[in-house]
Structure 1
Amino acid sequence: MKLQKTLLGMACMSALAAGAAQADYPNRDIRVIVPAAAGGGTDAIVRKITNLAEESMPVSMYVENVAGGMTATGLLQLMDARPDGQTIAAITYDSIITIPWKDMLPGFGMDRMRMIARITQEADAITVAEDAPYQSLGDMIAAAKENPGSIRIGIQNMGARTHLTLLQLQDQTGAEFKIVSYDNSAATQKEALLNGEVDAVVTSLGDLAPLIESGQARGLVEFSDTQNEGFPNVPPVTETDTGLDLQMGSFITLVAPARTPDDVIDKLETTYHEAYETDEFQQWLTQIGVTPAWLGSEDVTEWSRDTQQQLFNTMDNLVEKGVLEK
């Protein structure tokens, strides 16, 4: 009996201590994992909004790049972290789609993390060199049909998002491109486009903004149904004469480890939302050609599950057709 009382007392003390810790949150610096190399689009966006969010926090918030394994390395570190809000991460398409579909982390599912918010969406696009002969997506598709495999298009990793975008384009149009795969970075795609190694690349317009702004490259189409205000001369695919409605791209979502308390999630969501709504952040996104697309914790959780299921079905269908390998 005495032992039971002792154990009960210890449990109550632990619960009270945990409650007090949550009430004081945050009381230590917050680590924000970016599962990609420094210098990329995701890294820049997360650093920008985190710097703004930090202004209303009593502690420092520092971004740490943990690249590798199509975001799997950073995702592992998030899942192994204590669910106390002191470690969070910014994840993208690969963490929600590619990794679970390919079973790259056995046992991993979206129940291993808690969604805080979605910050942005960024459509994939086709960008060509300035002197490319194609003036529209229709021109490129016609050329690819006339000479199958003659147009070289650079993507980021076989089986990753940009590969899926191009495979769907081929499947829906009957065009055949020569697919050239690079590592998971827009930097290698930029270099390949500049030196003529490829005729076009599939990635976001924001990734190639410096080349487009300098006149070294031009966007041909964006796989979206909305005009990108940062690139008014690049049409969304739904406004081309191809009849296509192929919409694909990435996004940035903030997450915490599973079992992170509700009040901690609420605090993080509120803090980041305030940073998101600042004129500074909104204007900066427009300048770099990225679409602001906020969804709070509850909405982004539902959106993520719906998006995952939809793309899993698309990818499974492409496997059945022999277009994609799992």
Structure 2
Amino acid sequence: MAAGTAQADYPNRDVRVIVPAAAGGGTDAIVRKISNIAEESFPVSMYVENVAGGMTATGLLQLMDARPDGQTIAAITYDSIITIPWKEMLPGFSMDRMKMIARITKEADAITVADDAPYETLGDLIAAAKDDPGSIRVGIQNMGARTHLTLLQLQNQTGAEFKVISYDNSAATQKEALLNGEVDAVVTSLGDLAPLIESGQARGLVEFSDTQNKGFPNVPPVTETDTGLDLQMGSFITLVAPAQTPDDVIETLEDTYHEAYESEEFQQWLTDIGVTAAWLGSDEVTQWSRDTQQQLFDTMDNLVEKGVLEK
């Protein structure tokens, strides 16, 4: 079949859904949940396969090398669209090597503090960091990764100076550090710290989003704080297929997943785990991805020029 040619008999066998991350994580859980629901109205099975490694690069390579027939798709996140191409981890890679199906969710970064912390708002935290630069210890996941970039942008936009402590891409170690007083705050998603927040051991100060998270109604999006900031950062889950996958196949997959996305079961489940539903169809997510990539590339290049970030 020539690339881009309509495939009238699609799907004619089970669809492989690559998750470029280890089993048991948030992305894995969300993709499995929506794929299980989508499968109910699909004539074949959709089976999720975890392909971890290289900050999603290993799974991304398998997706790009797959036949463009809709039988192999993948769920990609922030690192696939931002970190990997900016750091040039896959020579020759560009988004032109994928075709977007849809965006399912977005999960904003947030700042969380211990319940007994003296900071009631983001403004309080910023003020404390300005009054005594370097005194507020903030835990992130990996120097140069997304949560680090979030904190760097916060410092750059407010003039606050935090003491940055890295925890090797692990929310679990961030939790431990917050509980034992090793750090004063952490930057990661609210979902990562949901058990601590729900038990009253921690409080979310802000989520770097423009949308209220229904799962955490007491944590304001940054656009509703009194700081005047509009810093929006976080991860997302987007379904993609290899480039040259026929448009009618993309449409079939988009429609199937959209039906699953709109289901009461999936929407309630997202609320329960504190993740924001954020659907964008194929055309919309393609433009959104390009705009987001360019914006963040410009931000990171600017921080490199200032000596704040290393490439």
TM-score (norm 2): 0.95
Distance apart, 1:191 and its partner CA: 2.8
- Where do 1:288-303 residues align within 5 Å? 288-303=273-288
Matched, 1:124 2:114: no
Matching residue's letter, 1:323: V
Matched, 1:245 2:195: no
Aligned partner of residue 133 in structure 2, secondary structure: coil
2:211 corresponds to which residue?
A: 226
Q: Which moved more, 1:116-125 or 1:29-38?
A: 29-38
Indicate which of 48, 64, 70 corresponds to 1:85: 70
Q: Which moved more, 1:82-91 or 1:36-45?
A: 36-45
Inter-partner Cα distance in structure 2 for 1:225 and 1:161: 18
1:166 corresponds to which residue?
A: 151
Matched, 1:312 2:297: yes
2:196 corresponds to which residue?
A: 211
Matched, 1:321 2:284: no
Matching residue's letter, 1:116: I
**RMSD (Å) for aligned C-alpha atoms:** 1.7
Indicate which of 168, 172, 181 corresponds to 1:196: 181
Distance apart, 1:281 and its partner CA: 0.7
Matching residue's letter, 1:210: P
Matching residue's letter, 1:244: L
Aligned partner of residue 274 in structure 1, secondary structure: helix
Inter-partner Cα distance in structure 1 for 2:65 and 2:171: 29
Is the 8 Å Cα contact of residues 40 and 185 (structure 1) preserved in structure 2? no
Distance apart, 1:193 and its partner CA: 2.2
Inter-partner Cα distance in structure 2 for 1:23 and 1:188: 50
Inter-partner Cα distance in structure 2 for 1:187 and 1:271: 34
Inter-partner Cα distance in structure 1 for 2:271 and 2:127: 32
Distance apart, 1:189 and its partner CA: 2.1
TM-score (norm 1): 0.90
Distance apart, 1:273 and its partner CA: 0.5
Aligned partner of residue 292 in structure 2, secondary structure: helix
Indicate which of 148, 154, 160 corresponds to 1:175: 160
Aligned partner of residue 22 in structure 2, secondary structure: coil
Identify if the C-alpha distance between structure 1 residues 184 and 66 changes in structure 2 by more than 3 Å, giving closer, same or farther.
farther
Distance apart, 1:192 and its partner CA: 2.6
Aligned partner of residue 239 in structure 2, secondary structure: strand
2:138 corresponds to which residue?
A: 153
Aligned partner of residue 301 in structure 2, secondary structure: helix
Inter-partner Cα distance in structure 2 for 1:75 and 1:187: 26
Inter-partner Cα distance in structure 2 for 1:47 and 1:185: 21
Distance apart, 1:32 and its partner CA: 1.0
Aligned partner of residue 299 in structure 1, secondary structure: helix
2:93 corresponds to which residue?
A: 108
Aligned partner of residue 13 in structure 2, secondary structure: coil
Distance apart, 1:222 and its partner CA: 0.8
Inter-partner Cα distance in structure 2 for 1:38 and 1:198: 28
- Where do 1:260-299 residues align within 5 Å? 260-299=245-284
Is the 8 Å Cα contact of residues 118 and 296 (structure 1) preserved in structure 2? yes
Distance apart, 1:19 and its partner CA: 6.8
Aligned partner of residue 23 in structure 1, secondary structure: coil
Structure (1 or 2) with the larger CA radius of gyration = 1
Distance apart, 1:181 and its partner CA: 1.6
Aligned partner of residue 97 in structure 1, secondary structure: helix
Is the 8 Å Cα contact of residues 5 and 246 (structure 2) preserved in structure 1? no
Name structure 2 gaps, 5 residues minimum: none
Inter-partner Cα distance in structure 1 for 2:289 and 2:231: 19
1:53 corresponds to which residue?
A: 38
Matching residue's letter, 2:308: V
Q: Which moved more, 1:69-78 or 1:140-149?
A: 140-149
Matching residue's letter, 1:264: V
Matched, 1:98 2:50: no
Inter-partner Cα distance in structure 1 for 2:209 and 2:248: 35
Matched, 1:184 2:169: yes
Inter-partner Cα distance in structure 2 for 1:19 and 1:77: 22
Distance apart, 1:277 and its partner CA: 0.6
Inter-partner Cα distance in structure 2 for 1:72 and 1:198: 31
Matching residue's letter, 1:206: G
Aligned partner of residue 49 in structure 1, secondary structure: helix
Name structure 1 gaps, 5 residues minimum: 1-13
Is the 8 Å Cα contact of residues 40 and 186 (structure 1) preserved in structure 2? no
Matching residue's letter, 1:158: M
Distance apart, 1:62 and its partner CA: 1.4
Map Cα deviations across residues 93-125 of structure 1 (whole Å, 9 max, x no partner).
111111111111110000111100001112110
Map Cα deviations across residues 283-306 of structure 1 (whole Å, 9 max, x no partner).
111222211111111111111111
Inter-partner Cα distance in structure 2 for 1:237 and 1:324: 23
Aligned partner of residue 123 in structure 1, secondary structure: strand
Aligned partner of residue 226 in structure 2, secondary structure: coil
